């Protein structure tokens, strides 16, 4: 790591619960959908297979020998070694939306504002993070900062400073920031009428996000009816008071993915949603995490394609928690199962019929409705959510497609606004090598 970067005291730190980092989903937010490490394992195996295939294609795995073949094999090995050892090759592995980067250069600055984020896998993501912080005018990505797991770091700076050659670093400036337009609301009423809600942990960044969303009629506040649930009665915004749930909103992490084991939290949340009963006045019930950039008008258009569905799966690996979309009929069925329990506080068959101690709430709800209560049909719609856990690779740019319903996660108001602006601007031009 560059010497000047090691002196962190000269930087203004951002609180950890506001860090937009690749590993924050598993580490920080106990309300998030669980990561799917099996996907990462598959990628490792696939990468190894592709590497072997490349060797075979280059003639490096054949037993035949000749001076020509030896030379070709040597050239192929050199090319593969160079690719592996290269710090970064912008636009080679996937299209880049960042301005041209300075590879193996550091932008050195003395004093001023700056901050760093750990475990940022690519300079592309570092550039997007810089775009999402208004103070940021330049960044430097460190390929190997000696961190456990993903070893890379992203440093954000208020100017480019002096350009200095440094192997293993990538520096650049962010794309121009887009202007934020008003969030379009969903058309009122009709077959696609929506009751949308969020669960909020009090006293943190989620309050700031929901307050801003209400002020700008964004997120859940673009639906026909919006509600916020928490474990304390709080005024989130004028006219928006939380519905109180009987939970600490705290849970352990575990399972094969070390994800939030928050099924019991949401068993209580859904009990409260049913008890309040407002959802019955609408055809669809939508649970949205506060840090998911959500476009209600886009969801309305998707819902028109799924008339009669019981609920909608948002990922090929199973339903993920940032946005969950259910028909009111599905929640009515869930309510019946609550009534079957002796105290009405949990859905009886879903609790007794599943071993969910190591599950997150999204998997519990998905399995409860699909396998136990037989709510159907359950169509898959990959336009509901863009996040890394469902292989939406460039989620941080927020311009996957003009009909993408949500992007996740964005834990500061600045990054949330920036994502909205990018999404409203449509699909960006990309740089390919």
Q: How far is CA 389 from CA 38, 127, 154, 315, 431, in A?
A: 10, 20, 21, 9, 24
pLDDT for residue 362 is more than 60: yes
Domains of the chain, first to last:
3-15+92-172 (3.50.4.10), 37-85 (no CATH), 194-424 (3.90.550.10)
pLDDT tens profile 185-194: 888 888 999 9
The stretch 211-218 carries a mean pLDDT of: 97
In angstroms, the Cα distances linking 123 to 89, 170, 305, 332 are: 10, 7, 38, 47
Residue 427 has pLDDT above 90, yes or no: no
* pLDDT tens sequence across 375-420: 999 999 999 999 999 999 899 999 999 999 999 999 999 999 999 9
Say how many C-beta atoms besides its own lie within 10 A of residue 35's C-beta. Answer: 22
Question: For 56-191, where are the E strands, in sequence order?
Answer: 102-108, 114-118, 138-142, 153-157, 162-172
- Would you state the pLDDT for residue 180? 93
Question: Long-range CB contacts (< 8 A, 24+ apart) of 348-357?
Answer: 349/373, 351/267, 356/263, 357/261
Distances (CA, A) of 369 to 308, 329, 351, 362: 15, 11, 12, 11
Higher pLDDT, 9 or 268: 268
Q: How would residue 84 be classed by pLDDT, with cut points 50, 70 and 90?
A: low
Give the model's pLDDT for residue 322.
97
Radius of gyration of the chain (CA): 24
pLDDT in tens, 99-113: 999 999 999 999 999
Region 356-360: mean pLDDT is: 92
pLDDT on residue 428: 52
User: Quick one: average pLDDT of 294-316?
Assistant: 97
Tally the residues of the chain: 433
What is the rounded distance in angstroms from the CA atom of residue 198 to the CA atom of residue 322? 10
pLDDT bracket for residue 154 (50, 70, 90): very high
Mean model confidence pLDDT for the chain: 83
Residues pairing with 313 in the sheet: 380
pLDDT at 142: 98
> According to the model, what pLDDT value does residue 7 have?
34
CA distances from residue 115 to 27, 34, 81, 118, 277 in whole angstroms, order as listed: 19, 27, 33, 10, 45
Confidence of residue 257 (pLDDT cuts 50, 70, 90): low
The pLDDT tens digits for 39-79 are 332 233 233 332 222 323 333 333 333 444 444 455 554 44
Residue 280, Cβ neighbours under 10 Å: how many?
13
């Amino acid at each position: 790591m560059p010497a000047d970067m090691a002196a962190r005291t000269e930087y203004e730190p951002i609180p950890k619960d506001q860090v937009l980092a690749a590993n924050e989903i598993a580490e920080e937010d106990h309300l998030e959908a669980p990561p799917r490490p099996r996907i990462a394992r598959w990628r490792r195996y696939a990468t190894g297979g592709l590497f072997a295939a490349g060797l075979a294609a280059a003639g490096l795995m054949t037993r035949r020998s000749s001076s020509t073949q030896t030379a070709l094999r040597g050239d192929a090995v050199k090319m593969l070694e160079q690719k592996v050892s290269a710090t970064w090759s912008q636009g080679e592995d996937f299209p880049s939306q960042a301005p041209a980067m300075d590879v193996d250069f550091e932008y050195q600055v003395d004093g001023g504002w700056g901050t760093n984020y750990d475990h940022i896998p690519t300079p592309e993501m570092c550039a997007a993070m810089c775009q999402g912080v208004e103070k940021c005018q330049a960044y430097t990505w460190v390929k190997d900062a000696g961190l456990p797991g993903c070893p890379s770091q992203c440093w954000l700076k208020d100017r480019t400073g002096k350009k200095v050659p440094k192997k293993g670093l990538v520096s650049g400036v962010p794309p121009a920031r887009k202007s934020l337009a008003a969030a379009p609301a969903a058309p009122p009423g009709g077959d696609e009428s929506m009751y949308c809600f969020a669960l909020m942990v009090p006293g943190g960044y989620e309050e700031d996000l929901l307050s801003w969303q209400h002020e700008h009629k964004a997120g859940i506040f673009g639906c026909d009816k919006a509600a916020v649930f928490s474990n304390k009665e709080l005024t989130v915004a004028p006219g928006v008071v939380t519905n109180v749930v009987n939970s600490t909103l705290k849970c352990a992490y575990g399972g094969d993915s070390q994800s939030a084991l928050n099924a019991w939290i949401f068993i209580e949340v859904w009990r409260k949603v049913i008890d309040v009963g407002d959802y019955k006045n609408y055809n669809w019930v939508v649970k949205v995490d506060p840090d998911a950039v959500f476009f209600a008008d886009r969801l309305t258009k998707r819902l028109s394609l799924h008339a009669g569905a019981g609920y909608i799966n948002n990922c090929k690996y199973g339903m993920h928690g940032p946005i969950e979309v259910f028909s009111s009929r599905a929640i009515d069925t869930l309510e019946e199962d609550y009534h079957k329990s002796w105290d009405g506080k949990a859905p009886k068959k879903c609790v007794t019929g599943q071993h969910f101690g190591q599950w997150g709430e999204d998997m519990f709800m998905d399995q409860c409705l699909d396998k136990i209560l037989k709510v159907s049909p359950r169509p898959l719609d990959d336009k509901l959510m863009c996040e890394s856990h469902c292989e939406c690779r460039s989620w941080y740019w927020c311009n996957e497609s003009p009909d993408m319903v949500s992007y996740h996660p964005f834990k500061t108001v600045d990054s949330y606004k920036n994502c909205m602006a990018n999404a409203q601007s449509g699909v960006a031009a990309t740089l390919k090598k």
